[in-house]
Amino acid sequence: MVDLKTEYMGLELRNPIIVGSSGLTKSLSGIKRCEEAGVGAVVLKSIFEEQYQVEQDIPEEDINVYPEALDYMRRGGLLEYAPQELTQLIEKAKKEVNIPIIASINCQSNKLWPSFARQLQDAGADGLELNIYFLPIDLDTPSFDYEKYHLDILEKVKKEVTIPVAVKLTIQVTALPHLASRLADSGCDALVLFNWFLVPDIDVHNLRTKSRKGIGDFHQSLRWVGLLSGRVGCDVASSGGIQSGEDIVKQMLAGASAVQVCTLFYQKGVEETFHLLEGLESWMTEQKCPDIASFRGDLSFKKQELSFKNLGEAEVYFRSQYLKTYAGKK
Ligand SMILES: Cc1cc2nc3c(=O)[nH]c(=O)nc-3n(C[C@H](O)[C@H](O)[C@H](O)COP(=O)(O)O)c2cc1C
């Protein structure tokens, strides 16, 4: 029997599989189903600030509250309170479920992140994931400003809560290693690599733009997990494209402390956890690895850099030119 326990952002997980933030975790029955299927933890569906914004131009007669309350809501008062629906979900889940519950936040305005964070902690969340999600599209804004934006949010949240805090990043952030290292220095407990976007498309017959669902990029995640784990002072979780137990092994050899899975569970049901764990366990048995610590990070950039002068296996993480790869080959 191998031991699948792992530690992620200071939380002990019975195994490294986490159900990523999504509709799969938005209800108590969904969370219970995840626990029964055997996952190590869940990240709840993100709470999005804009869900709770009260439009300025909604006529008063269309909103069923007192005019004073409406004024209060329009001034942003409503946003001071994370919706009860979510805090109640956390309270109930903490009573009925034993795996760690990580709540997820996405805000627009800087000041609301810490307020939401504290309320979710008070409701009993074991950890928080900050879903910092935007594209740096402004021509006049330098990378530094975007990086500072991440750091400001993390610092404000960390001042407000004592539970562990992860930051979920998008691949589009520049100088990822530098940002990752500054986030870790500012108290970030884990980085989640990466968030996933809707992607643009174009309908060439009707000359219109449209959005469609993106695909989690397993290999981008593998590259950056491999490059960052062990080099920054926090845990790293992979998120994107996990399809099998072997994929989990790869991410953990690259140094991931945990993996987040969504699309596969939407396709095959969260009960697919059984096959993922089976794949992970049989690889560990075959390789004679008694526990996760005995192989995690063995093929990370950091471990290879320390063990081999020529970087050993780690060169793949930054090699990007075919020319070099195929040099001398027909
Ligand atoms: C239907 C769906 C809804 C999602 N909603 C959120 C969300 O609210 N917040 C968030 O941070 N990520 C969200 N994600 C992203 C997942 O948490 C996760 O990062 C990603 O889907 C993992 O890649 P995979 O789907 O290839 O396994 C969502 C993903 C899906 C498929």
Residue 197 Cα to ligand 1 middle (Å): 9
The string of pLDDT tens digits covering residues 166-211 is: 999 998 888 899 999 999 999 999 999 999 878 899 999 999 999 8
Q: In order of start, what are the domains of the chain with their CATH numbers? A: 6-298 (3.20.20.70), 300-330 (no CATH)
Cβ–ligand 1 distance for 216 under 6 Å, the answer: yes
Residue corresponding to tokens 């809707």: 198
Closest CA relative to residue 260, chosen from 14, 5, 18, 86: 18
Q: Answer yes or no: is the C-beta of 104 below 6 A from any ligand 1 atom.
A: yes
Q: Is any ligand 1 atom within 6 A of the Cβ of residue 21? A: yes
150 Cβ inside 6 Å of ligand 1: no
Percent of the chain with pLDDT over 70: 83
Question: Residue 45 and residue 134: Cα distance in Å, rounded?
Answer: 17
Ligand 1 atom index nearest CA of 213: 31
Q: Is the CB of 229 under 6 A from ligand 1?
A: no
Instruction: Please state the atom number of ligand 1 nearest to the C-alpha of residue 216.
Output: 26
Confidence of residue 240 (pLDDT cuts 50, 70, 90): very high
Q: What is the pTM of this model?
A: 0.90
Percent of the chain with pLDDT over 90: 68
Q: What is the CA radius of gyration of the chain?
A: 21
C-alpha of residue 285 to centroid of ligand 1, in Å = 31
The rounded Cα 83 to chain-centroid distance in angstroms is: 22
- 105 pLDDT higher than 90: yes
Give the CB-side neighbour count of residue 187, counting CA atoms within 13 A: 17
Say what the pLDDT of residue 115 is.
87
Helical axes 112-123 vs 143-160, angle rounded to 10°:
40
Q: Is the CB of 238 under 6 A from ligand 1?
A: no
Residues 108 and 18: their CA atoms lie apart, in Å, by 26
Pick the closest to residue 157 from 196, 105, 84, 195 (CA basis): 105
Confidence of residue 70 (pLDDT cuts 50, 70, 90): low
